[in-house]
Structure 1
Amino acid sequence: MTAALAIPPHSLSIVVPFYNEEDNIAPLVKRVHEALVGYEHPWELVLVDDGSSDATVERALQSAREYGPHVRIVELTRNFKQTAAMQAGLDAARGDVIVTMDGDLQNDPIDIPRMVARLLNEDLDLVAGWRQNRQDGLFLRKIPSKIANRLIARMTGVKLRDYGCSLKAYRGDVIKRVRLYGEMHRFIPAWMATVTTPRRIAEEATTHHPRTAGVSKYGISRTFRVILDLIAVYFFMRFRARPGHFFGSIGLALTALSGLVLGWLGWVKFGLGESIGGRPLLIVGIGTLIAGVHFITTGVLSELLARIYFESGTVLSYSARQTPALAIDEAWHKPD
């Protein structure tokens, strides 16, 4: 199947973060190899253990010994959460094209060659998976996800129907210009739009299977975190390089409002000779003045922090220990 696809020359890295998925390691590695039988380009599989407390690392090392050194292991020293684990995998990946996917067997590796072919043949920077027939609960997963997807698309301008699908194909040199931290993995297409144009981001329908082993790490509580993260994404997309404009605009609006209120009270005091000491409007005028000055000074400080951020080097959001599988620098699965 893979040999029938016309794909330009490249090297491929497949990144899979795991957390307490011991029963899914071996089946996933097997599925990846079955999906890439006949793949005409060198590829590697990067398994990232996010500080699992079960036998995930042992199962991953066993798979590496069984299939060869192109199966590489990145073992984080503790549980840093999915975003940091994904960043660790992206840092370890060496391919011209990088594919990420979940380790719960719900994504199907059979879609990888088709997504890579579209990425390279259409000169795209990202092909995001779309779980067209999603195999999850309706009320706890599907409905909140649909609402979130529409809200994210409207606020970010990146029109995708499924932001939450982890199966994505990236152009390696582009995704490596995006540093992931916090819980940014939910909004990677939006963050990609900060380093490339949304015209180079596309969506591809993918296969989705029900979970058969392990426990889902998601719940309805993440809806509130998504809202907060979306506000942060919107801010960074619009004002990352000029935060002073965001805070300064609010500050100027508040000080202008304060000027109108205090001006009116001044006319009442000195023009009409009335007392203003007991008027609530005086408190409003002084309060908005203080708040306006605060926002303006916050904007100045934000500009200074932004300058420091852009002029400084990056700081890793995780720490990892090197394993024997990771130490092999020239290990690729190459076509026969």
Structure 2
Amino acid sequence: MQISVIIPLLNEEQSLAELYNWIAKVMRSNSFSYEIIFIDDGSTDGSWKTIAAIADKDKAVKGIKFNRNYGKSQALHAGFLKAEGDVVITMDADLQDNPDEIPELYKMIAEEQYQLVSGWKKKRYDSVLAKNLPSKLFNAAARKTSGLKLHDFNCGLKAYNKAVVKNIDVYGEMHRYIPVLAKNAGFYRITEKEVQHQARKYGKTKFGAERFIFGFLDLLTIWFLSKFGRRPMHLFGSLGVLMFIIGFFTAGFVGFSKLYKMYHNEPNILVALNPWFYIALTVMIIGSQLFLAGFVGELILRSKRDKERYLITKTTENY
């Protein structure tokens, strides 16, 4: 069985050679058949030059370069498309993920028949306020909404059965919740492994505080898609019909009340001056809009077409 190691990166020139040598040493010492795929996500330093030099020396190394920075999810998407291995390992390029974990991760996929193994950095070397505390909050929210009992959804070090990476669509910023995407796609043999986390040796992190806002929004998106992604009419249509019925009967009550008071010569006000008339009208309009949103969602779902979300400018000759 072959192993594909996918490494998305952005401006990691200093760490690439060391990371490659470390991975190659692990692979050769375990007699693994392997490929290493570097995805340069629009680096502005000498990262691509380093990748090209490594690929010239080792035909097991392959490189993909984006024309600009598209994000980690797009880089992983490109790597998943190109991966040929039966077991796929993803890791970050900053040397914070330990390649010595690869043999055990491989064993859990190839021998223990797990479909996805997510790394768990139990002991971290990141700032407590900047990363640790927000990560704990997001992981808790992800566990609650997904039902997956994982401690670290966003760990870059993961192992996959080939079928998983070929059947999930990683887009936007969804790389944080790949285990949830896998579960939603029908892959339920998911577990985690405690892995060693190392302090950053070169450069600085590429992620700012805004990632936590985006992470929360992405979590809401995943929850919605997992519940109603294949049946938007069930949500929007149901809410729309319910609101329209409420508005319709409210308007009917306003009209009936007007007629009743007119018949009995009781003091009455114009319908146009009754606030409940406008409330009913607003509720019916919103209900109609929700119903139409569900209908349009169903049409889009049935007519969507695959489209590349990034532009590749270069690849190494190994591709």
Name 2:98's counterpart in structure 1.
108
Provide the C-alpha distance between the structure 2 equivalents of 1:319 and 1:139, rounded to a whole number of angstroms: 36
Of 150, 174, 184, which residue of structure 2 is paired with 1:184?
174
CA distance in structure 1 between the aligned counterparts of 2:198 and 2:68, rounded to whole angstroms: 29
State which of 305, 310, 318 in structure 2 corresponds to 1:318. Answer: 310
Structure 2: give runs of 5+ residues left out of the alignment.
Answer: 263-267
In 1, are the aligned partners of 2:27 and 2:33 still within 8 Å (CA)? no
Find 1:209's aligned residue among 185, 198, 216: 198
- Which residue of 1 is the match for residue 139 of structure 2? 149
Kindly provide the CA deviation profile for residues 48-93 of structure 1, in whole angstroms up to 9, marking residues without a partner as x: 1111111001111222234x11011111122111111111111121
Q: Which of residues 45, 57, 61 is equivalent to 1:54?
A: 45
Q: Aligned partners of 2:294 and 2:80: how far apart in 1?
A: 33
Tell me, yes or no, if the aligned pair for 1:71 and 1:325 is still in contact at 8 Å: no
Residue aligning to 1:301: 296
**Residue 190 (structure 1) shift:** 0.8
Question: Which residue identity is paired with 1:251?
Answer: G
Structure 1 segment 167-316 matched on structure 2, within 5 A = 167-198=157-188, 200-273=189-262, 274-275=268-269, 276-309=271-304, 312=305, 314-316=306-308
SS at match of 2:290: helix
Give the fraction of aligned pairs with identical amino acids, expressed as a percent.
Answer: 31
CA offset at residue 256 of structure 1?
2.5
CA contact (8 A) 1:72 1:326 kept: yes
The question of whether the paired residues in 2 share the 8 Å contact of 1:44 and 1:72 is answered with: yes
On the 8 A contact 1:74/1:326 being kept in 2, the answer is no
* Matched letter for residue 98 of structure 2: D
How many residues end up aligned between the 2 structures? 313
1:84-123 equivalences under 5 Å are: 84-123=74-113
Aligned pair partner of 2:29 in 35, 38, 54: 38
Q: CA deviation at 1:269?
A: 1.4
C-alpha distance in 2 between matches for 1:233 and 1:57 = 33
- Please give the alpha-carbon distance, in whole angstroms, between the structure 2 residues aligned to 1:53 and 1:324: 18
For residue 217 of structure 1, give the secondary structure of its aligned residue in structure 2. coil
Once the two structures are superposed, residues 210-248 of structure 1 have per-residue CA deviations (whole angstroms, 9 ceiling, x without a partner) of 112122111222121112111111111111211111111
Q: Deviations over 1:227-286 (max 9, x none)?
A: 211111111111121111111122122113213422332232122343243232222111
Question: Helix, strand or coil: the match of 2:252?
Answer: helix
Secondary structure of the equivalent of 2:315? coil
Deviates more, 1:236-245 or 1:277-286: 277-286
* Matched residue, 1:5: none
- CA contact under 8 A between 2:27 and 2:34: conserved in structure 1? no
For 2:276, what is the secondary structure of its paired residue? helix
Match of 1:332 in 2: none
| CA deviation map 1:161-181 (0-9, x unaligned) | 101101110111221111222
For the 8 Å contact 2:39–2:64, the answer to whether it is kept is yes
- Would you identify which runs of 4 or more consecutive aligned residues in structure 1 move more than 6 Å? none
Give the letter aligned to residue 315 of structure 2. Answer: T
Distance 1:272 1:156, change over 3 A: farther
Pair 1:29 & 2:20 matched: yes
114, 121, 131: which one pairs with 1:124? 114
2:5 match:
14
SS in 2 for 1:13: strand
Aligned to 2:265: none
Give the superposed CA RMSD.
Answer: 1.5
AA at the equivalent of 1:294: Q
Residue in structure 2 matched with residue 137 of structure 1 by the alignment: 127
| 1:322 to partner: Cα distance | 4.2
